[in-house]
Structure 1
């Protein structure tokens, strides 16, 4: 545990934002630099089969220390941070023994308050790491990386704890939906795995959204505004009309639990052409198909009202709900749940209102539910992580390894 926070603070100093506009892997050079740092650390720890491939995927193995058959299990985290906020020059600040009230974030003028983030009221007496209010922190998912490596180092230093093969893997570009694209499941070698990519302590998730992305391209007609009557078709206005056709109550800010949504996450435009980018989410596969059909109906409706110009809709699926791939193997959840109970952590089994590498990996033959990191408010300048929560994540990882060795395959 002594090196846990030190590791985490070292990793967040690397600028590893992913970039969806770059088709290369990794999409940013900073991820490659961090991958090289992690590879060096894993070799120093003396792990086996340490591999850093050309696309900056990292894998390694802590060999079994028992003479009976134990299924190999894995732990996975991602190196990139979200494009939603800057990850450059992160200046973390440690708040020891938080006793409530607001937390001032550096000199930025930004604050964390319990009124806006009620989870703070549950963290009195804990030590927190926050941002300085100018960048995200990177706990998503560098906390997961630090926790996995710390747990493996602990297991290696304490051979009296019996375990089978422990496979670890770190991926690039998860935040832009590509983390599992080039993951070599066969080489990884685990029967199942856990992503360490969740939030508050106790989270255990094996359901996630079915996901698609949609692009609405509005093609207008540009004419000099002085002679535009009955000629100009303003693509920006077309885009605005399309958004007004979308259900205002089915957005991220209006939904929770198992409720799906449409999310307009970016828009660009000029008179001749405008584009709207959406993500579509639903826990039910049929629900996702219904949402896609609804968007197509709105595009058709708008096109029927236009005499010039037209609306084009492009939709592509991103990932699916891992539940159907994990539920046939209930022992995977049972082991994680019992490990939390053994570590005095109350399991909170809930759906992920998002996705992880584990969703894609589950459909690639590696069932892979998700476990907490102790982090909060991911993807923004108010992100923070509980040091106490990070320590509990390490203990749960160790206990999963230990409990797996106690169960017959």
Structure 2
């Protein structure tokens, strides 16, 4: 089964907790703090494996949770960092956030990788907080939570040549003729409901990858029929072979078919109409009047490159393949997909790390939210008074106390952070 889009849940590993501990050697009074740091939680990494062709591995397992870091220990022994969880994906995989549709990574080359969910930093043990003012701190940090998000994986096939055209014009027959691929072939619409790949070798030893893509219909750019599932794969191809049934035996109009599909490509992504294109007039063995070709050329434009062929009888097949190979040699990948890179592409639009927001609950309590303060809350051990006092100091340094006063808070009123409640004290 060909799977080219899935939604999955990721949870990177939490950092291990730092601990509060003190030296206890027999002849070392007041030995000082010796609590070790927690280890870092595991990242979740996506890595390209050229042996994969679909996202089938994610069809049944859609939740991935990486290991947390090991907690710190006494005698200043740090917890172990957890090894990253590496998920293999096929070339051409795009990773997007489900909630914002933000592109996190575009993975195209074998071995290419990207950290999609970062593991949490290990919490610091109490020995890290020792100072001249406080030589024996009675607090430590909890580990930082690992990133948690839902992502959408989209696969765009990495093919040199894409066969486009209406259903049942002979794309699958052509692929089976020029390669060892054996796509399903039938005399009815939408025989091909998933992309098929084949390696084509010319008589002079050159080779390239050709993709037989599901047939287009009018309205595909709006998602009609197989719509976007088809057009997603066209974006990766370097050369487009536009297959037309020139015999018109099925009651189709060859010129109108060409114009409709060009229009759908342009509406989906205007760059697709700039790709090198060869118009393949298939089923030429059923045409006896040479004027049919001249009429077609006059309608679509004299500058178009047109090859009449017959996938069934192999007419002009070799000439077409030589021309495609020549075109590929002159077509650089960077010219075809200028906005994409051969190296890892990762987009991170970070907000102000100290930003926070204050709102009011129905009961009048003040609710403080924001990435930095919520992370600090999770990393604080509220069972220790010293840790609570440190948390209060950090809130003041972030400007939260002052912002609460500007909102009109009074002493004794309630402040909530992630469900935890505090009493505001001047």
> Could you say whether these structures have the same fold, taking a TM-score greater than 0.5 normalized by the shorter chain as the test?
no
Structure 2 length-normalised TM: 0.23
- Structure with bigger helix share is 1
**Relative CO higher for 1 or 2, CA cutoff 8 Å, sep ≥ 6?**
1
Structure 1 length-normalised TM: 0.24
The structure with the larger Rg is: 2
